[in-house]
Structure 1
Amino acid sequence: MDLRLLRYFVAVAEERHFGRAATRLHMTQPPLTRAIQQLEADLGTPLLLRSASGITLTAAGSTLYDEARALLAQADHARARVTAEAGAGSLTIGTLGDSIERAYAGTSLATAFRHRHPGANVRVLEADFTDPTTGLRAGLVDVAVTRAPFDDTGISTRVIRSEPVGVVLRTDDPLAERPLLHLADLDDRTWFQFPDGTDPLWRAYWNGVKPGEPLREGPVVRTVHECIRAVLWNGTLGLAPLGHELGSLGHETPDGLTVVPLADMPPSRVIVAWRTGDANPLVHSFVELAAPADRRRRSPG
């Protein structure tokens, strides 16, 4: 199969819309539509169901989507290996929200990497909270700056830093004036949670329970903005890393919200992760720059 057609198909499958997919691919919609039709003709089966409400995948389309992502990742990896041997190379970095910015406040990982590999092509992809590996397990990225815990089978990790965790509350919440809270103080409250299929260790941690325990019930969220809206509009509770300054949601706590430290919540570990056994020299160089031995020794938690 033509890798170009597979890239087109993956874009349409993820965007669920030909117009948005065409914009993402920097092309117009008619040739994209023709390309998908050609792919369906080549495979002899419909891949997409088109309707006024949008696009859905057929069973065959869902299967192709999984296979296409794996094939494209393998092709990208092969290209990276070859070009790296030729002295340039490419690296795709997955991030979870502002993981890189929070981990390297006051330093420049990008500057150090560019200085060491001036000819390398670097892409940064941001994932939502439903995939703590930020595309690493799916083969979409080469290395990830993300947060533990999650199932790290087949994945190597190094801790960059650890951060205390607090509970996000509306400022008019009766608990918002407390200087410190415990998880037991929040047992009768509604929490946000992540969708079914999300890594169970990750879901349990950010839901304030131990792995294997029943999850606290509440609305399903996927991004920081959805978490914030759930707290502001419905008084839902959620957790957030506090970083250097207690009471910060990333950089600046939104108006109407506050973050109260939790005394009995394990710290959130910012990590660099890569596929165990990956021979891409750019991956190992990035890991060395992201988590040097002296920083790992200083990292609390």
Structure 2
Amino acid sequence: MELRTLRYFVAVAEELHFGRAAARLHMSQPPLSRAIKQLEADVGAVLLLRSSAGVTLTPAGTVLLDEARTLLDQADRIRVRVAAAAGAATITVGILGDSSDRGAMRLATAYRRRHPGVEVRIREADLTDPTCGLRAGLVDIALTRAPFDETGLTVHQLRADPVGAVLRTDDPLAARHARHDGLQLADLADRRWFQFPDGTDPVWQSYWNGGEPREGPVVRAVQECLQAVLWNGTVGMIPLGHTPPEELTVVPLTDMAPSRVVAAWNEGDTNPLIQPFVRIATAAYR
């Protein structure tokens, strides 16, 4: 059994869906299906049951999942120890804006426990650079949010968060929150929205403006966005689950795509610390 094939199997076993697993592995579905069938032939047992209802693990698959995780974790430890022996036991992580995400907290704890010899350097970026310094070579990997221009980058989804509009509590539309109703982007068509400075990734700007050209005050950080709402009545945007000050209300947007939490790194980067970091992050954010 090759480690690569075991990684394929773990992805399918965790996602219980070949399409999602293929997207997570940055590959197409047919070669993934062939690899799993070959693995089943190699071990002489059916590992996954496929049906119209989805994918489920067989008893043999459950055993292999446990063993595969152990083997992959050991392989990651070997890579990290070799990197440390070669004098390369430092990884610089870019984090976007709000570093209080519980997934990031779990990741920090798990990574420190598994790789205590690695020095992790953190660079926090503002909202003007969703890649957190990747393109400038300032970080090895970014924990950030998509969408943005992915040219030259590998992007791995960790989680998807629904998004809401941030409004002043006395805004007439804020009553939708109390009634447990959501908003649609059309409800906010005539409102002023926050803007990022000139030169900001247009894909990123468009997403946070609901896909339409908008006008409003320029902000660089999450707190500046919230203050723009508080002082100017501007429409702000925030992933659900974040708690704003009591003067502000978050109303879910029912027709806006979720905000994807991702890990991103430069395509072809051979830094041996990146893949172990991504695997631990995948589990921490799940």
Instruction: Please classify the TM superposition score into its range, dividing by the shorter chain length.
Output: 0.5 to 0.7
1:176-255 correspondence to structure 2 within 5 Å: 176-178=174-176, 179-209=181-211, 215-243=213-241, 250=242, 252-255=243-246
Deviation at 1:278, TM superposition (A): 0.9
Deviation at 1:86, TM superposition (A): 2.0
Seen in structure 2, the aligned counterparts of structure 1 residues 100 and 290 have a Cα distance that, compared at 3 Å, is farther
Partners of 1:137 and 1:102 lie apart in 2 by: 26
Specify every segment of 5 or more residues in structure 2 that has no aligned partner in the other structure, as ranges: 1-79
Deviation at 1:283, TM superposition (A): 1.2
Q: How many residues align?
A: 203
Which amino acid is the alignment partner of residue 259 of structure 1? Answer: V
Deviation at 1:88, TM superposition (A): 5.6
Partners of 1:195 and 1:257 lie apart in 2 by: 24
Which protein has greater RCO, CA pairs closer than 8 Å, 6+ apart? 2
Q: For each residue in 1:253-291, what CA deviation from the matched residue of structure 2 results, as whole angstroms up to 9, or x when unmatched?
A: 202100000110000000011111111111111011111
**Is 1:89 paired with 2:89?**
yes
Partners of 2:244 and 2:260 lie apart in 1 by: 20
1:158–1:271 contact (8 Å) kept in structure 2: yes
Hey, what does 2:121 align to over in structure 1?
Answer: 123
Partner of 1:176: helix, strand, or coil?
A: helix
Give the alignment's Cα RMSD to 1 decimal. Answer: 2.3
Deviation at 1:225, TM superposition (A): 1.2
Which amino acid is the alignment partner of residue 187 of structure 1? Answer: A
Partner of 1:219: helix, strand, or coil?
A: coil
Q: 2:262 aligns with which of 257, 267, 271?
A: 271
Hey, what does 2:43 align to over in structure 1?
Answer: none
Q: 1:163 aligns with which of 161, 164, 171?
A: 161
1:93–1:143 contact (8 Å) kept in structure 2: yes
Partners of 1:88 and 1:119 lie apart in 2 by: 11
Which amino acid is the alignment partner of residue 193 of structure 2? Answer: W
Partners of 2:175 and 2:86 lie apart in 1 by: 59
TM-score, with structure 1 as normaliser: 0.63
Q: For each residue in 1:139-190, what CA deviation from the matched residue of structure 2 results, as whole angstroms up to 9, or x when unmatched?
A: 1011110000000111111111111000000000000001211000111111
1:9-20 correspondence to structure 2 within 5 Å: none
1:147–1:270 contact (8 Å) kept in structure 2: yes
Partners of 1:100 and 1:159 lie apart in 2 by: 18
1:13-92 correspondence to structure 2 within 5 Å: 84-86=84-86, 89-92=89-92
Q: For each residue in 1:47-74, what CA deviation from the matched residue of structure 2 results, as whole angstroms up to 9, or x when unmatched?
A: xxxxxxxxxxxxxxxxxxxxxxxxxxxx
Hey, what does 1:103 align to over in structure 2?
Answer: 103
Partners of 1:154 and 1:129 lie apart in 2 by: 20
Deviation at 1:103, TM superposition (A): 2.8
Partners of 1:197 and 1:89 lie apart in 2 by: 34
Which amino acid is the alignment partner of residue 92 of structure 1? Answer: T
Which amino acid is the alignment partner of residue 221 of structure 1? Answer: V
Deviation at 1:114, TM superposition (A): 2.0
2:83–2:272 contact (8 Å) kept in structure 1: no
Identity of aligned residues (%): 63
Which amino acid is the alignment partner of residue 192 of structure 1? Answer: F
Partner of 2:110: helix, strand, or coil?
A: helix
**Is 1:285 paired with 2:276?**
yes
Which amino acid is the alignment partner of residue 147 of structure 1? Answer: R
2:134–2:265 contact (8 Å) kept in structure 1: yes
Partner of 1:138: helix, strand, or coil?
A: coil
1:100–1:145 contact (8 Å) kept in structure 2: no
Seen in structure 2, the aligned counterparts of structure 1 residues 272 and 99 have a Cα distance that, compared at 3 Å, is farther
Partners of 2:143 and 2:195 lie apart in 1 by: 22
Specify every segment of 5 or more residues in structure 1 that has no aligned partner in the other structure, as ranges: 1-79, 244-249
Q: 1:133 aligns with which of 131, 134, 139?
A: 131
Seen in structure 2, the aligned counterparts of structure 1 residues 184 and 166 have a Cα distance that, compared at 3 Å, is same
